[in-house]
Amino acid sequence: MSAVIHALATLPAWRIAIAALLTLGSYVALSGYELLGLSYVGRRLSYRRVTLATWVTYGLGQSIGFPVLAGGAVRLRMYARWGIGIGDIARIVAFNAVTMWLGVITVLGFAFVSQNGVVAGVLSVAPAFIDAIGIAASICVLAYVAVSVTRRPPLKIRGHEISFPPPRIAIAQVATAVADWLLAAGVLYVLLPPAVRIAFVPFVALFLAAQIAGLVSHLPGGIGVFDGIIVAALSPHLDGKFIGVAASLAAYRGIYYAAPLAVGGALLAWLECSGAVRRCTTFVRAYATSHAPAILAVATFAAGAMLLFSSATPELSDRSRILDQVFISPVTESAYFLSTLVGLALLLISRGLKRRLDGAYLLTIPLL
């Protein structure tokens, strides 16, 4: 463990900085998932809200396991607040899942076809098998785009309708998902130690294979499964030096999973707290608006009663002595009399305040 920590501490800062920038780029691409999904269902949101939903949904969903369910639940919470119905949210979740797998299939197809020999060596399988998978994956993506071009009416399967997106959205799906997966793979690739000599395209194929296994396991971030596959596949390139790769995987999890999880959790907490404060403020404002006349009437009645009580009780001798030194006796005596009249007037006017009479309000201010 201490060796891994030491290797982490010696990771070049520029590699960490590039990995952080690639992570940021990946989340920009993920926000493209949301924008395309909203366009697919015919809804619009500001990019600020889309970005907020992206960081919360994927920051939590990719790190706590069951990304479709976890991300879908968070997306439901946020989008419903912004006026999007449950049916549209379900379609967006399904659309984003299709977009993600389109990216996986596209990148795998290209990597398997263009570098089948190298990929076969990395994954330790027959080149013909890699070639067949690559061709099949490429055909699937082309078929999806072709169907979106040629088919307009929804596809009906057992009473359920499946609407294919228009060609511009279908092509954007593929491009956005490919960019996302390449950026995500790049995060780990730039963190690998120099001793690991593997080209980027075969590494992307390995990365996607490990990610698929991690997704199937439903473990948080595919932890353990993803890491084991990466280490096992790279072992021929390591010369027994596993510490560097272990440190790179730890840094990758910190940058690509832990940091977005912290950001997403903080944003969700802020969103929920601001919503609670907003609801509380609205309640207090509504309560104060509806009960303001009664509150003012009670306060005015209390002020009048205080003046009457003060006029009826004996004065304090030391204070009276000070007043007698400053004012002549008629002034102080008239002050008691006037305070009694003002107190009596406030008691009577308080009833008018409760009835929302403008004249009562205008008289209360100078009397007070």
Give residue-wise pLDDT tens across range 134-193: 889 889 999 888 888 887 666 676 666 677 888 899 999 999 999 999 999 999 999 988
**Residue 159 contacts residue 9 (beta carbons within 8 Å):** no
Q: What are phi and psi of 219, to 5 degrees?
A: -75, 155
pLDDT-based confidence at 239, cuts 50/70/90?
A: low
pLDDT-based confidence at 278, cuts 50/70/90?
A: confident
pLDDT-based confidence at 66, cuts 50/70/90?
A: low
DSSP 10: T
Determine the Cα–Cα distance for residues 57 and 54; give it in Å rounded to an integer. Answer: 5
The sign of the dihedral angle between the CA atoms of 31, 37, 40, 45 is: negative
The 10s digit of each residue's pLDDT in 252-274 is 989 998 899 899 888 888 888 88
What's CA 194's distance to the chain center, in Å?
Answer: 35
47-50, long-range: CB < 8 A, 24+ apart = 49/82
Choice between 126 and 204, residue whose per-residue pLDDT is larger: 204
DSSP 257: I
3-state DSSP call for residue 224? coil
3-state DSSP call for residue 258? helix
According to DSSP, the residues that pair with 162 across neighbouring strands are: 155
**Residue 225 contacts residue 210 (beta carbons within 8 Å):** yes
Query: Residue 240: its pLDDT value, please?
Result: 57
Choice between 183 and 61, residue whose per-residue pLDDT is larger: 183
pTM over 0.75: no
What's CA 290's distance to the chain center, in Å?
Answer: 36
**Residue 306 contacts residue 339 (beta carbons within 8 Å):** no
Mean of the pLDDT values across residues 307-317? 77
* Range 252-281 burial, b when 16+ CB lie within 10 A, else e: bbebbbebbbeebbebbeebeeeeeeeeee
> How many beta carbons lie within 10 A of that of residue 32, not counting itself?
20
Residue type, 99: T
Query: Residue 20: its pLDDT value, please?
Result: 93
Determine the Cα–Cα distance for residues 260 and 30; give it in Å rounded to an integer. Answer: 12
Q: What is the DSSP string of 13-78?
A: HHHHHHHHHHHHHHHHHHHHHHHHHHHHTT----HHHHHHHHHHHHHHHHHHS-HHHHHHHHHHHH
Query: Residue 157: its pLDDT value, please?
Result: 66
The segment with the largest mean pLDDT, out of 88-92, 185-189, 202-206, 227-231, is 185-189
Mean of the pLDDT values across residues 347-352? 87
Query: Would you give the end-to-end CA distance of the chain in angstroms?
Result: 74
Question: In which residue are the tokens 């940058």 written?
Answer: 255
Determine the Cα–Cα distance for residues 182 and 193; give it in Å rounded to an integer. Answer: 19
Mean pLDDT of the chain: 83
Residue 170's alpha-carbon distances to 70, 95, 157, 182, in angstroms, are 25, 10, 21, 19
Query: Residue 241: its pLDDT value, please?
Result: 65
